[in-house]
Structure 1
Amino acid sequence: MGCDGGTIPRRDELVRTKKKPEQKDKTSELAFKWKHCAISQEALTKPIVACELGRLYKKESVLEFLLDRSKFDIAAQFDHLRGLKDIKELNLTDVPEKRSHHAEKGDSRSDSIIADFICPVVGLEMSGKHRFCFLWSCGCVMSERALREVKSETCHKCGKQMREEDIVLLNGSDEEVAEMRQKMEQRREQAKLAKKAKKAQKHKLKAAETEGASSGLTAQQTNKDSPSETHITESTESRPIKQPKRDTGSALHKSLTNGKSGHGTDDKKSKGKKLCIQDDPKTSKTFKSLFTSSEAARNQQQPNWITYNPLYY
């Protein structure tokens, strides 16, 4: 059985036992979460963004995911990413000392413990050993210890107003992610209600403006109509009443008036009347003889029965 030579076999070599599941290295798992993108698993490079569930992404990979989700196998885990409004660019503070990730002596290997960013208030390294969070309003990243110890209503880095609802924990546990998902849904519902309220206010303002314009038009029309009516009444009142003409009733008066008017008309007719050609002293006798009003034409014989022309002999 291969036990010659004084070797002593162990129990697991003789009896089949259940294999224990492989345990993940916590340090390597934390380093992967804090230094790699959650979608593309690539190393994080600026600009770095985070979602409302506290996961870290490369902005380029998020844009690729939003453009074409079919390229990624784990698209169902990131269904909460609908657009650029669902992510926030992080305002990180770099480590002041430049340290290399490779060992100076011996075999070269990457050191996952070294962090690239630190907390601006306390100075803790953002490597996964300490809990970090960011503010959704401004995107500033700081440690949870700094928020707990240094309490204030404004951000410690940029000075903007801070609320408890805006605090999002980075790379939290499954229970904490479930709580943050509930907060995310509540925040989105509030945003929808605020949009509906704004739309309702806009519609009310438009309706009030239209009503005001219509009322102004009606008032103008009434104002225009009322002075015209008053003007009509005033004009009718100011006009003198026509009295009927008096009848003289006397024929003598009528005859006198008719005689006066007749003399006047005769004078006017005589003035406007043209002189006859036969009475004009300037015209010659030959020219006057051409017309039927001349004396020669008057003394002429009767017209011929054939032509009925008085000038025909």
Structure 2
Amino acid sequence: MGNDGGSIPTRRELVKEAARNPNTTQLKETLREHLEHFWTTCPLSHKRLLHPIVSDAVGNLYNKDALLQYLLPGDDIEAISSKADCDEVLQGRVKSLRDVVELKFEADGNAEAPNGKQKGRWICPVTQKELGPNAKSVYLVPCGHVFSEGAIREMKADKCLQCNEPYESTDIISILPTDKSEKERLKLRVEELSHRGLAHSLKKLPGSSKKRKKNRMDANGDVENGIKSEPPSNGKVNGSSKTPILSSTSAPVGIKNADTAMLTARVLEEQNERRKRKKTSGTSDAVQSLFTSKNKKGGNNNMDFMTRGFSIPH
């Protein structure tokens, strides 16, 4: 039998067949299995993809609740995965909800899940073909409606076929692309949008408007050559009162989704509470009681915590 101490087997006896490169059929099958996994599983939570589903700038799919859990402040993200694993998956592409688009799939509606949510195949609203690993699919920015690639290519329209939202040819995003040229196109699109001060969802990046205002010339002297001048002492500019600054605890403005607005308001409230605790965490009353602040009637000016309660004999 060999390898029992009585004899030494040769390589010819151990290796029956030489290693071969996978053929085209095997490569396609491996690719299909890879796509099927990411069409059905969130890479952050490793759970099944369920509505609502969002996509980043390169067409990857995530559960929105898992992404919100990642974006919330704090290190407690046990509900999804470790912080390092999530960073490796996202690779810095998602820093806020501006960097993702919520997708709007159309299902055939042949069955319903026990929890009441719709269950079934995702289909193209134009061709009625199933969307998934066996068909190339795309979605439009910013509306997020999903179609088959063939339907968008044949229609050649500049408005969404579902909501009439206008879009450009560069705003057609492939879902889980496999071609290197398509991946490079999506990366170049993100770079161009960043130069324009826009995120993947075509929303303005934070601070982009401030940079533009910094380079403008203001005739009133408020901002000139990027140098900010001091306002008048009466608190008015050009005869009108200043616009009041909104508090950090005010309701989020511009967030249409109720769940996202509620989560954002909760985060702002927690941050405000932490700021208040830091401001009030100065010298405690117990430490202040060890020293005398001001002279009191009948008190000893030289009294401190070392001599309090004791009298020095003359």
Cα deviation for residue 186 of structure 1 reads 1.2
Cα deviation for residue 18 of structure 1 reads 4.8
Deviation sequence 1:90-140 (CA, Å, 0-9, x none) = 11111132399xxxxxxxxxxxxx962111111111121111111121111
Distance 1:121 1:177 in 2: 25
Aligned to 1:145: 150
The aligned amino acid for 1:195 is S
Cα deviation for residue 51 of structure 1 reads 0.6
The 1:27–1:206 alpha-carbon spacing in structure 2 relative to 1, beyond 3 Å, is: same
Cα deviation for residue 165 of structure 1 reads 2.1
Cα deviation for residue 66 of structure 1 reads 2.1
- Aligned residue for 1:37, secondary structure, equals coil
Preserved contact between residue 38 and residue 57 of structure 1 (Cα < 8 Å): yes
The 1:189–1:135 alpha-carbon spacing in structure 2 relative to 1, beyond 3 Å, is: same
Distance 1:30 1:214 in 2: 59
Distance 1:205 1:117 in 2: 57
- Aligned residue for 1:34, secondary structure, equals helix
- Aligned residue for 1:168, secondary structure, equals strand
Whether 1:73 and 2:85 are equivalent positions in the alignment is yes
The 1:214–1:179 alpha-carbon spacing in structure 2 relative to 1, beyond 3 Å, is: closer
- Aligned residue for 2:196, secondary structure, equals helix
Aligned to 1:204: 218
Cα deviation for residue 25 of structure 1 reads 3.6
The aligned amino acid for 2:139 is F
Aligned to 2:53: 48
Preserved contact between residue 133 and residue 167 of structure 1 (Cα < 8 Å): yes
Aligned to 1:159: 164
Distance 2:66 2:237 in 1: 55
Aligned to 1:85: 98
Aligned to 2:187: 181
Higher fraction of helix: 1
Preserved contact between residue 95 and residue 116 of structure 1 (Cα < 8 Å): yes
TM-score (structure 1 length as normaliser): 0.52
Question: Which segments of 5 or more consecutive residues in structure 2 lack a partner in the other structure?
Answer: 3-10, 114-118, 198-204, 224-230, 240-314
Aligned to 1:127: 132
Distance 2:176 2:143 in 1: 19
Cα deviation for residue 55 of structure 1 reads 0.4
TM-score (structure 2 length as normaliser): 0.52
Percent identical residues? 28
Q: 1:172 aligns with which of 153, 171, 177?
A: 177
The 1:205–1:146 alpha-carbon spacing in structure 2 relative to 1, beyond 3 Å, is: farther
| Greater CA drift, 127-136 or 189-198 | 189-198
Aligned to 1:58: 63
Whether 1:98 and 2:111 are equivalent positions in the alignment is yes
Preserved contact between residue 43 and residue 89 of structure 2 (Cα < 8 Å): no
Mapping for residues 226-237 of structure 1, pairs under 5 Å: none
Cα deviation for residue 71 of structure 1 reads 3.3
| Greater CA drift, 140-149 or 173-182 | 173-182
Give the aligned CA root-mean-square deviation in angstroms: 3.8
How many residue pairs align between the two structures? 194
Question: Which segments of 5 or more consecutive residues in structure 1 lack a partner in the other structure?
Answer: 3-10, 101-113, 217-313
- Aligned residue for 1:133, secondary structure, equals strand
Cα deviation for residue 17 of structure 1 reads 4.9
Larger Rg: 1
Distance 1:215 1:160 in 2: 41
Cα deviation for residue 178 of structure 1 reads 2.8
- Aligned residue for 1:73, secondary structure, equals helix
